[in-house]
Amino acid sequence: MGNSEKIRPSLTRPRIGVVVVDDGLYTHRWLASLVQEQSLCVVFVVCLSPFYAKNFNPHGATGLWRVSWLRTRYYGLFASARFALKSLNGQLQDWLFGMGIGHTPHSVRSLSRAHAIPLLTPAGHDINEPAFCTRLAAYQPDLLVCAFSQRAEAVFLEVPRLGCLHLHFSELPQHRGREPLFHAMLAENGAGVSLHWMVPRFDAGSIVWQESLDLASCRTLHQAILAACEMVARMLPLALHRAMEWQGDKQFSGLLPPAHHWPTREEIQTFHKKKLRFF
Protein backbone atom coordinates (compact mmCIF):
# COMPACT_ATOMS: atom_id res chain seq x y z
CA MET A 1 0.00 0.00 0.00
CA GLY A 2 1.06 3.56 -0.75
CA ASN A 3 4.00 5.44 0.71
CA SER A 4 3.19 8.78 -0.93
CA GLU A 5 0.24 9.85 1.23
CA LYS A 6 0.51 13.01 3.29
CA ILE A 7 -1.25 13.73 6.54
CA ARG A 8 -4.01 16.26 6.03
CA PRO A 9 -4.39 18.85 8.79
CA SER A 10 -7.35 18.36 11.12
CA LEU A 11 -9.02 20.66 13.62
CA THR A 12 -9.48 17.71 15.99
CA ARG A 13 -6.56 15.39 16.54
CA PRO A 14 -7.47 11.67 16.65
CA ARG A 15 -7.23 10.25 20.16
CA ILE A 16 -4.97 7.18 20.18
CA GLY A 17 -4.52 4.60 22.93
CA VAL A 18 -1.50 2.28 22.86
CA VAL A 19 -1.36 -1.26 24.32
CA VAL A 20 2.06 -2.93 24.03
CA VAL A 21 4.58 -5.22 25.64
CA ASP A 22 7.55 -3.17 26.85
CA ASP A 23 10.31 -5.50 25.66
CA GLY A 24 13.08 -2.96 26.29
CA LEU A 25 14.67 -3.55 22.87
CA TYR A 26 12.22 -2.82 20.09
CA THR A 27 8.79 -1.37 20.93
CA HIS A 28 10.00 2.06 22.07
CA ARG A 29 11.80 2.52 18.73
CA TRP A 30 8.61 2.73 16.67
CA LEU A 31 6.42 4.14 19.44
CA ALA A 32 8.57 7.28 19.55
CA SER A 33 7.29 8.37 16.13
CA LEU A 34 3.71 8.03 17.32
CA VAL A 35 4.01 10.02 20.55
CA GLN A 36 5.94 12.75 18.72
CA GLU A 37 3.43 13.06 15.86
CA GLN A 38 1.70 16.44 16.18
CA SER A 39 -1.35 15.38 14.15
CA LEU A 40 -2.23 12.64 16.68
CA CYS A 41 -2.92 12.68 20.41
CA VAL A 42 -1.76 9.65 22.42
CA VAL A 43 -4.04 9.64 25.47
CA PHE A 44 -2.60 6.61 27.30
CA VAL A 45 -0.06 3.81 27.03
CA VAL A 46 -0.76 0.38 28.48
CA CYS A 47 2.57 -1.19 29.36
CA LEU A 48 2.69 -5.00 29.67
CA SER A 49 5.68 -6.82 31.13
CA PRO A 50 7.53 -9.25 28.81
CA PHE A 51 7.72 -11.65 31.76
CA TYR A 52 4.03 -11.57 32.68
CA ALA A 53 2.08 -10.65 29.53
CA LYS A 54 -0.34 -13.44 28.66
CA ASN A 55 0.75 -15.79 25.83
CA PHE A 56 3.81 -13.68 25.05
CA ASN A 57 6.30 -16.45 25.87
CA PRO A 58 6.73 -20.12 24.88
CA HIS A 59 4.11 -22.43 26.40
CA GLY A 60 2.31 -19.38 27.80
CA ALA A 61 4.92 -19.18 30.57
CA THR A 62 5.05 -16.27 33.02
CA GLY A 63 7.52 -15.31 35.73
CA LEU A 64 11.11 -14.09 35.50
CA TRP A 65 12.92 -17.40 36.01
CA ARG A 66 10.64 -19.68 34.00
CA VAL A 67 10.53 -17.25 31.08
CA SER A 68 14.30 -16.78 31.21
CA TRP A 69 14.82 -20.56 31.17
CA LEU A 70 12.43 -21.18 28.27
CA ARG A 71 13.80 -18.26 26.26
CA THR A 72 17.34 -19.59 26.76
CA ARG A 73 16.24 -23.00 25.47
CA TYR A 74 14.57 -21.31 22.52
CA TYR A 75 17.39 -18.93 21.50
CA GLY A 76 20.33 -21.06 22.62
CA LEU A 77 22.98 -20.09 25.16
CA PHE A 78 25.10 -17.84 22.91
CA ALA A 79 22.17 -15.87 21.49
CA SER A 80 20.61 -15.61 24.96
CA ALA A 81 23.83 -14.15 26.33
CA ARG A 82 23.88 -11.52 23.57
CA PHE A 83 20.20 -10.80 24.21
CA ALA A 84 20.90 -10.34 27.93
CA LEU A 85 23.80 -7.97 27.24
CA LYS A 86 21.70 -5.88 24.84
CA SER A 87 18.90 -5.80 27.40
CA LEU A 88 21.23 -4.76 30.23
CA ASN A 89 22.76 -2.04 28.06
CA GLY A 90 19.26 -0.76 27.25
CA GLN A 91 18.40 -0.68 30.96
CA LEU A 92 21.59 1.23 31.69
CA GLN A 93 20.85 3.76 28.94
CA ASP A 94 17.30 4.07 30.25
CA TRP A 95 18.58 4.72 33.77
CA LEU A 96 20.93 7.40 32.46
CA PHE A 97 18.03 8.99 30.59
CA GLY A 98 15.98 9.01 33.78
CA MET A 99 18.85 10.72 35.59
CA GLY A 100 18.92 13.41 32.91
CA ILE A 101 22.23 12.21 31.47
CA GLY A 102 21.13 10.23 28.45
CA HIS A 103 19.41 11.71 25.41
CA THR A 104 17.06 8.89 24.34
CA PRO A 105 14.61 6.70 26.30
CA HIS A 106 15.15 2.96 25.89
CA SER A 107 11.81 1.70 27.15
CA VAL A 108 8.12 2.35 26.62
CA ARG A 109 7.79 3.51 30.22
CA SER A 110 10.53 6.12 29.95
CA LEU A 111 9.26 7.31 26.58
CA SER A 112 5.73 7.74 27.95
CA ARG A 113 6.92 9.57 31.06
CA ALA A 114 9.07 11.90 28.96
CA HIS A 115 5.96 12.93 27.03
CA ALA A 116 3.70 13.06 30.12
CA ILE A 117 1.43 10.30 28.78
CA PRO A 118 -0.56 8.31 31.37
CA LEU A 119 0.92 4.84 31.94
CA LEU A 120 -1.45 2.01 32.79
CA THR A 121 -1.07 -1.71 33.57
CA PRO A 122 -4.00 -4.13 33.99
CA ALA A 123 -4.24 -6.41 37.00
CA GLY A 124 -2.58 -9.70 36.15
CA HIS A 125 -1.52 -8.17 32.82
CA ASP A 126 -4.94 -9.24 31.48
CA ILE A 127 -6.10 -6.75 28.85
CA ASN A 128 -9.64 -8.22 28.94
CA GLU A 129 -10.24 -7.44 32.62
CA PRO A 130 -13.65 -5.62 32.60
CA ALA A 131 -12.85 -2.90 35.15
CA PHE A 132 -9.61 -2.11 33.32
CA CYS A 133 -11.41 -1.86 29.96
CA THR A 134 -13.91 0.52 31.56
CA ARG A 135 -10.98 2.63 32.73
CA LEU A 136 -9.55 2.71 29.20
CA ALA A 137 -12.90 3.69 27.71
CA ALA A 138 -13.02 6.72 30.02
CA TYR A 139 -10.16 8.22 27.97
CA GLN A 140 -12.49 8.15 24.93
CA PRO A 141 -9.92 6.85 22.41
CA ASP A 142 -10.80 6.82 18.72
CA LEU A 143 -8.38 3.97 18.00
CA LEU A 144 -6.16 1.55 19.91
CA VAL A 145 -2.76 0.55 18.51
CA CYS A 146 -1.76 -2.86 19.88
CA ALA A 147 1.27 -5.12 19.89
CA PHE A 148 0.76 -8.08 22.22
CA SER A 149 -0.13 -11.78 22.03
CA GLN A 150 -3.24 -12.19 24.18
CA ARG A 151 -6.54 -12.94 22.47
CA ALA A 152 -8.69 -9.81 22.66
CA GLU A 153 -12.30 -10.32 23.73
CA ALA A 154 -15.32 -8.14 22.96
CA VAL A 155 -14.94 -6.14 26.18
CA PHE A 156 -11.52 -4.95 24.97
CA LEU A 157 -12.33 -4.59 21.27
CA GLU A 158 -15.24 -2.28 22.11
CA VAL A 159 -13.10 0.21 24.09
CA PRO A 160 -12.23 2.59 21.21
CA ARG A 161 -14.81 4.45 19.16
CA LEU A 162 -13.60 3.15 15.78
CA GLY A 163 -11.76 -0.06 16.59
CA CYS A 164 -8.49 -1.71 17.57
CA LEU A 165 -5.48 -2.06 15.28
CA HIS A 166 -2.68 -4.59 15.58
CA LEU A 167 0.90 -4.40 14.29
CA HIS A 168 2.14 -7.64 12.75
CA PHE A 169 5.61 -8.13 11.28
CA SER A 170 4.74 -9.99 8.08
CA GLU A 171 2.80 -9.49 4.87
CA LEU A 172 -0.49 -10.86 6.12
CA PRO A 173 -2.14 -13.23 5.55
CA GLN A 174 1.28 -14.86 5.20
CA HIS A 175 2.89 -15.90 8.49
CA ARG A 176 -0.04 -15.38 10.80
CA GLY A 177 0.63 -16.22 14.44
CA ARG A 178 3.83 -16.36 16.41
CA GLU A 179 7.32 -15.22 15.41
CA PRO A 180 6.33 -13.98 11.92
CA LEU A 181 9.75 -12.61 10.96
CA PHE A 182 11.43 -15.87 11.96
CA HIS A 183 9.06 -17.78 9.68
CA ALA A 184 9.46 -15.20 6.89
CA MET A 185 13.24 -15.54 7.03
CA LEU A 186 12.95 -19.31 7.10
CA ALA A 187 10.59 -19.36 4.10
CA GLU A 188 12.46 -16.54 2.33
CA ASN A 189 9.19 -14.73 1.61
CA GLY A 190 6.42 -12.76 3.25
CA ALA A 191 8.53 -10.39 5.35
CA GLY A 192 6.91 -7.04 5.94
CA VAL A 193 4.77 -4.94 8.24
CA SER A 194 0.97 -5.06 8.40
CA LEU A 195 -1.40 -2.89 10.39
CA HIS A 196 -4.77 -4.63 10.52
CA TRP A 197 -8.07 -4.38 12.33
CA MET A 198 -8.37 -6.64 15.35
CA VAL A 199 -11.18 -9.18 15.36
CA PRO A 200 -11.76 -12.12 17.74
CA ARG A 201 -9.72 -14.47 15.51
CA PHE A 202 -5.94 -13.96 15.52
CA ASP A 203 -4.50 -11.95 12.62
CA ALA A 204 -7.76 -12.16 10.67
CA GLY A 205 -8.78 -8.52 10.30
CA SER A 206 -8.75 -6.38 7.17
CA ILE A 207 -5.40 -4.75 6.42
CA VAL A 208 -5.24 -0.97 6.79
CA TRP A 209 -1.62 -0.59 5.70
CA GLN A 210 1.01 -3.04 4.50
CA GLU A 211 4.56 -2.81 3.20
CA SER A 212 7.05 -5.49 2.21
CA LEU A 213 10.43 -5.69 3.90
CA ASP A 214 13.63 -6.57 2.06
CA LEU A 215 15.71 -8.79 4.35
CA ALA A 216 18.55 -9.46 1.90
CA SER A 217 21.04 -7.74 4.19
CA CYS A 218 19.63 -9.22 7.42
CA ARG A 219 21.37 -12.34 8.69
CA THR A 220 19.89 -12.21 12.18
CA LEU A 221 16.36 -11.99 13.51
CA HIS A 222 17.46 -9.01 15.59
CA GLN A 223 18.46 -7.10 12.43
CA ALA A 224 15.14 -7.98 10.79
CA ILE A 225 13.12 -6.72 13.77
CA LEU A 226 15.10 -3.46 13.84
CA ALA A 227 14.37 -2.98 10.13
CA ALA A 228 10.68 -3.62 10.74
CA CYS A 229 10.62 -1.14 13.64
CA GLU A 230 12.15 1.50 11.40
CA MET A 231 9.46 0.84 8.80
CA VAL A 232 6.69 1.09 11.42
CA ALA A 233 8.07 4.38 12.73
CA ARG A 234 7.80 5.86 9.26
CA MET A 235 4.41 4.54 8.21
CA LEU A 236 2.35 4.40 11.42
CA PRO A 237 1.06 8.02 11.61
CA LEU A 238 -0.09 7.84 7.96
CA ALA A 239 -1.69 4.44 8.55
CA LEU A 240 -3.65 5.71 11.55
CA HIS A 241 -5.08 8.61 9.58
CA ARG A 242 -6.14 6.11 6.91
CA ALA A 243 -7.83 4.01 9.61
CA MET A 244 -9.75 7.07 10.81
CA GLU A 245 -11.39 7.23 7.38
CA TRP A 246 -12.05 3.49 7.05
CA GLN A 247 -15.39 2.61 5.47
CA GLY A 248 -15.01 -1.09 4.64
CA ASP A 249 -15.42 -4.41 6.42
CA LYS A 250 -13.00 -5.03 9.27
CA GLN A 251 -12.98 -8.79 8.74
CA PHE A 252 -10.53 -10.15 6.13
CA SER A 253 -12.60 -11.69 3.31
CA GLY A 254 -10.01 -14.03 1.77
CA LEU A 255 -8.74 -17.47 2.73
CA LEU A 256 -6.48 -17.53 5.78
CA PRO A 257 -3.53 -19.93 6.06
CA PRO A 258 -2.97 -21.71 9.39
CA ALA A 259 -1.32 -19.60 12.06
CA HIS A 260 2.25 -20.39 13.08
CA HIS A 261 3.09 -21.54 16.59
CA TRP A 262 6.46 -21.16 18.29
CA PRO A 263 9.21 -22.55 16.02
CA THR A 264 9.96 -26.22 16.51
CA ARG A 265 13.46 -27.55 17.19
CA GLU A 266 13.61 -28.77 13.58
CA GLU A 267 12.66 -25.33 12.24
CA ILE A 268 15.33 -23.70 14.39
CA GLN A 269 17.93 -26.18 13.10
CA THR A 270 16.92 -25.38 9.52
CA PHE A 271 17.13 -21.67 10.35
CA HIS A 272 20.72 -22.15 11.50
CA LYS A 273 21.59 -24.31 8.49
CA LYS A 274 20.65 -21.33 6.31
CA LYS A 275 23.35 -19.44 8.25
CA LEU A 276 20.72 -17.36 10.00
CA ARG A 277 20.94 -16.45 13.67
CA PHE A 278 18.76 -14.86 16.32
CA PHE A 279 21.24 -12.15 17.44
Task: Please give the average pLDDT of every successive group of 10 residues along the chain, which has 279 residues.
Answer: 50 91 94 95 96 91 92 88 83 80 85 95 94 97 96 96 97 95 95 96 94 93 96 96 93 88 93 94
Q: Supply the pLDDT for residue 1.
A: 55
Q: Supply the pLDDT for residue 169.
A: 97
Tell me yes or no: is domain 15-273 CATH 3.40.50.170.
yes
What ranges in 99-197 are assigned the alpha helix state H?
A: 108-114, 130-137, 154-157, 180-187
Q: Supply the pLDDT for residue 235.
A: 96
Contact between residue 33 and residue 7 where contact means Cβ atoms under 8 Å apart: no
List C-alpha distances in Å: 122 to 19, 52, 57, 109, 237.
10, 11, 18, 15, 26
Rounded-to-integer distance, Cα 36 and Cα 34, Å: 5
Strand ranges (DSSP E) for 55-120?
Answer: 119-120
> Across the chain, which distance is largest between two alpha carbons, in Å?
55
Q: Quick one: which of 120, 145, 142 has its CA closest to 133?
A: 120
**Three-state DSSP class for residue 204:** coil
Q: What residues does each domain of the chain span? A: 15-273
Strand ranges (DSSP E) for the chain?
Answer: 15-21, 41-48, 119-120, 143-147, 163-168, 192-197, 207-212
Q: Supply the pLDDT for residue 263.
A: 93
